[in-house]
Amino acid sequence: QAQLVESGGGLVQAGGSLRLSCAAPGSIFSVSTMGWYRQAPGKQRDLVASITRGGGTNYADSVKGRFTISRDNSKHIMYLQMNSLKPEDTAVYYCNAEDSWLARRAGWGQGTQVTVSS
C-alpha cells in the first residue's frame, strides 16, 4: 500500500484557499527535511515548499507569500496551506522527502488533485 497519503485537494476558484494534508510513515517523516511537490499536466514534478524537522521553511518563488508549509511531528502529518490560489497552481500535489534520492527510495503516493478555475 501507499507509503505517503495526500488529501485535501479539490476544485476552487481563483483567489480561494485549500489546505492539503500528508500522512507519512515515521521512518520517512523523520528525515531532516520534508517537502510538497506538484506536477501540472505535461510538466515535470517540482518542489514547491520544504520544511525541516525543526520548522525551517523554504518556498519556490512561484508560491512564496501565498503558501505555508507546516508539520506535526507527533502525528507524522504535514500540511500545505494554500491561499490566493491561481489557475497556474492547478496540479497534482505530492509529499515526500525533500532530498531527491530519499524521495526516490520512499516512493510516491497517489497525490491529491488541485484545480483552480479562472
Averaged pLDDT, groups of 10, the chain, 118 residues long = 85 98 90 94 96 95 98 94 98 96 93 97
Q: What is the pLDDT of residue 32?
A: 82
Strand order in the sheet with 10-13: 10-13, 112-117, 91-97, 33-39, 46-52, 57-59
Query: What's the confidence (pLDDT) of residue 1?
Result: 39
pLDDT on residue 31? 80
Distance (Å, whole) CA 64 – CA 85: 12
Backbone angles phi, psi at 65, to 5 degrees: 90, -15
How does strand 77-82 pair with strand 18-23?
antiparallel
- State residue 29's pLDDT score: 87
What is the pLDDT, as a whole number, of residue 51?
A: 97
Considering only CA atoms, which of 27, 24, 18, 34 is closest in space to residue 4? Answer: 24
Q: For residue 62, what pLDDT is reported?
A: 98
Question: What's the pLDDT score for residue 99?
Answer: 94
